[in-house]
Amino acid sequence: MAITALEYLVFSSLRARNMLPPRPRVLELGQSNWYGDVSLEQLEVDIRRFVTDEARREALLAKLQNCISAGVRDRVYEIASIFWTVFADPLSYSAIDPGMPHSKYRFDLNQPVPLDEKFDVTVNIGTAEHVFNVYQFFKTSPGTSLNWSGISNPKLDALLDQTREVSSQAERKKLYSEVTKILQDELPMIFVVHPVEPKAFSPKVQGYDPVPDGMMRFKDVWLK
């Protein structure tokens, strides 16, 4: 997903108030790119404001200038890396993203994720809504897991276990309705955007199966 003006405001505020842990190990769910609704002049101002080490500051300014010279649209991930350096100053940065060749972890978040590392900050800038395996995000999980909200609800755990045991669509709909009610009551995660994503295809397109997360998967698609 993308670093927009909203994420920029949040992280610049956290940085200004020293609310992030020092030199954190950062895990991002979905490698974010630079959206472009914040001026690069503002990013330059914040590099000068927050990066106190002169050598690092000048290196970041030079990197930003190279991105501008090469064309911003071709360097949106490099600009995002500058953003993370300025506002999080991470000891390490890792992303889970199956579609990005440079991501450290190329896992599908709808499948079990074999993480054996611990992280200080987990960031989700719009990726979790594409994950329809809610088990991974809301099941009580000791140790390292994707339950980064920390919710632990025995009734919710039992319902999520049941969703993996039944195949009847009617029963699964009933179970997930109960899961949704608990999540609405406890609010471990707040979705601030609910976009409408209409899709239109030529009649020649065959085998396309729409899924609730809104993303288009063409693995089994063919043209008649």
Residue 1: partners with Cβ closer than 8 Å, 6 or more residues away: 30, 32, 33, 125, 126, 127
Retrieve residue 115's tokens. 């993480």
- Cα distances from 217 to residues 208, 210, 220, in angstroms, run 8, 8, 8
Residue 147: partners with Cβ closer than 8 Å, 6 or more residues away: 136, 137, 138, 139, 140, 141
User: What integer pLDDT is reported at residue 193 of this predicted model?
Assistant: 61
On whether the CB atoms of residues 92 and 52 are closer than 8 A, the answer is no
Please state the rounded mean pLDDT for residues 48-77.
94
User: What integer pLDDT is reported at residue 192 of this predicted model?
Assistant: 62
User: What integer pLDDT is reported at residue 212 of this predicted model?
Assistant: 64
Retrieve residue 188's tokens. 């471990």
Please state the rounded mean pLDDT for residues 39-59.
97
User: What integer pLDDT is reported at residue 165 of this predicted model?
Assistant: 92
User: What integer pLDDT is reported at residue 194 of this predicted model?
Assistant: 63
- Identify the bridge partners of residue 120 per DSSP, sorted by sequence position: none
Is 65 a residue whose pLDDT tops 80?
yes
